[in-house]
Structure 1
Amino acid sequence: MKNISLLSGLAVIALGFTSCKDEKQEKAQKTIDSYVSYVDSIKNVKADDLKADWKDVEAEYDRRVTDAQVALADIKDNKADIEKINTSKVKYEEFRNEMVKVLAPPAPSPKQQLRNALFGEGKIGDDMSFAWVNAKNIHSVYQQFVHTVENNKDSYSREDWDEIKLMYEALDSRKNTVEKEGLTSSDNRKIAGLKLKFAPMYTLNRMGAKSKETAEAKK
Structure 2
Amino acid sequence: MRNSKFIAGTLVLTALVASCKNEAEQTAEKNVDRYVVYVDSVNKIDSAGRLANWEAIEAGYEARLAEADAALAQLKDKAEAQKRVDESRQKYEGVKIQAENDAKVKAAADMPATGTGNSMADTLFGTGKVTGDDMSFGWVNKDNILGVYETFYENFKKNKDSYSRQELDRVKAWYEALDARKNTVEKEGLSAEDNNKIAAIKVKFSPLFRWERLTAKGKENEAAKKAAE
TM-score normalised over the length of structure 2: 0.47
Higher Rg: 1
Indicate the structure whose relative CO is greater, using CA pairs within 8 Å and at least 6 residues apart: 1
TM-score normalised over the length of structure 1: 0.49
